[in-house]
Structure 1
């Protein structure tokens, strides 16, 4: 009970901090929108209206990296997207427990959308920015110094997330320490 309260409080604080970053970029209205390429964008939770217009903005796939039960989730997000012909994948990463299986599932999901315009989101763009960073560096072989600013625009990973990022990079032969 206390743990759930603390996680909910953390999410609320993060959303409060992110409200000024709520913006429309790359055809997405959400907190912390970060266009990576013309085909790939990360963000926090898009509004219901934004989800309903992603098809018109050219999106063909959405990967949602939080449990469907988080307080600000759009309960019918999958249906909204599927009505537009947009592929929807949910990888419910518990915020304080990112793991290797989460990254593997994300890698498979994003690879399956190769060549399509994709939005990767969570609540605030912490999970999404971190997983996309890892994908870009490990799968895309991008320089981590060049790819990391897309994360630092949103947050500075610490604790479990920093450890997860560093361990995942090292496992794949990349020596990089997030700031």
Structure 2
């Protein structure tokens, strides 16, 4: 990753997820890459999860950051919210990468709708 210019990684899945890389923090540290872990329960994303994610992204604002989870569902959704709420990007443009991965349903749909509404953003991709 360092060869590709990444300076930080934010990992959004719990470390107990079966196919997580247990020594990811050490692997990244050897490359001089900052590792931030924000474990988000897939079945229960919260406003506090987004707040921690936004704070981490703000702290790393001048760095090239890779956001990942297991299959890009958490990462794509949280990045969309960050781009829209904090970055003030057009929600339609910011949502396009999410749609390439999935269309959030259930708790994730409600979570996204709640976060957008709480921030005065009128956008319904569902």
Question: Do these two structures clear the TM 0.5 threshold for a shared fold by scoring above it?
Answer: yes
Out of 73, 96, 99, the residue aligned to residue 149 of structure 1 is: 96
More strand by share: 1
1:169 corresponds in structure 2 to: 116
Offset from partner CA, 1:64-103 (integer Å, 9 cap, x none): 0000110010000000001111000000000010000000
Q: Which has the higher helix share?
A: 2
Give the deviation of 1:178 after TM superposition: 2.0
Match of 1:114 among 45, 56, 61: 61
Q: The residue matched to 1:85 in structure 2 has which SS?
A: coil
Which structure: larger Rg?
A: 1
Stretches of structure 1 lacking an aligned partner (at least 5 in a row): 1-53
TM-score (norm 2): 0.98
SS for the counterpart of 1:169 is helix
Deviations 1:26-72 (A, max 9, x none): xxxxxxxxxxxxxxxxxxxxxxxxxxxx0111100000000011001
Gaps of 5+ in 2: none
The structure 1 residue matched to 2:24, chosen from 77, 82, 95, is: 77
Q: Which runs of 4+ in 1 moved over 3 A?
A: none
